[in-house]
Structure 1
Amino acid sequence: MVWQKAKGLSVHVYRVTASGPFARDLGLRTQIQRAAVSVMSNIAEGFDRNSRAEFARFLAIARGSAGEVRSQVYLASELGYIDEATSRALLRECIEITRMLVGLRKRLGA
């Protein structure tokens, strides 16, 4: 479930950054895209490690990437690259994913 949410965040980020002033800011655009993809990628990689400890470690990395996306959303909003509604939606997604990651790590005993 959390991987699907993370995939949705990645798609949302790619769509938001595909046009307008965000598309012209290569640095921020690339960074937020990479961070969003990192969330889902680390969940998948950790799961495929076949170790609870490794999975928990990769979930922690995914959580850090979700925090990075949140930070970049704040910057994009401040720069006027995204409107308030888009900013709120992206932040909600990041927060929900973070909560899910924390819950999953707790279930793993981490």
Structure 2
Amino acid sequence: MKTFRDIFIWQKSMSLVTKIYTYTNHFPKEEVFGLTSQIRRCSVSIPSNVAEGFGRESNKEYLRFLNISLGSLFELQTQLEIAKNIQYLNEVKFNEIYEDTREIERMLVSFINKIKNTQ
């Protein structure tokens, strides 16, 4: 891999961010500083930490940033569930985006384990 842009997890999570921004555009305006902002921030955190970790000196540091990405992903899954429960996301949109997060979750866990096993 030459750059973090070559990492498939980064690519998938960047697509997720775009989808998140599109869907949250339809949330109530009074949520702009609440749930909308929180969902957007943790979605942005996922590819950002993959990229930041890539630029670090060691696998140990890289793992730390990948784990932060995973934590942000779990936070995002929780907030999406809340958005569905209060009917900001319908079932179809929720299922679509939740499946995207589950795919990224599996990829991140696998990547983390691969790096751990090479140490």
TM-score (norm 1): 0.94
2:40 aligns with one of 33, 37, 46: 33
Q: What SS does structure 1 have at the residue aligned with 2:82? A: helix
Which residue of the partner structure matches residue 84 of structure 2?
Answer: 77
One-letter amino acid matched to 1:12: K
Aligned residues: 109
Which residue of the partner structure matches residue 104 of structure 1?
Answer: 111
Between the aligned partners of 1:13 and 1:58, the Cα distance in structure 2 is: 21
Percent identity reads 37
Q: What SS does structure 2 have at the residue aligned with 1:81? A: coil
Deviations 1:66-108 (A, max 9, x none): 0011000000001110110110011111111111111101110
Instruction: Give structure 1 stretches of 5+ with no counterpart.
Output: none
Which residue of the partner structure matches residue 53 of structure 1?
Answer: 60
Which residue of the partner structure matches residue 24 of structure 1?
Answer: 30
One-letter amino acid matched to 1:89: E
**Structure 1 vs Structure 2 CA RMSD:** 1.1
Task: Tell me whether 1:93 sits opposite 2:100 in the alignment.
Answer: yes
Deviations 1:4-55 (A, max 9, x none): 011011111000011242x431200000000000001000000011311111
Moved more, 32-41 or 90-99: 90-99
One-letter amino acid matched to 1:76: A
Instruction: Give structure 2 stretches of 5+ with no counterpart.
Output: 1-7
Q: What SS does structure 2 have at the residue aligned with 1:108? A: helix
Between the aligned partners of 2:80 and 2:93, the Cα distance in structure 1 is: 9
**Moved beyond 2 Å, runs of 4+:** none
TM-score (norm 2): 0.87
Between the aligned partners of 1:81 and 1:24, the Cα distance in structure 2 is: 12
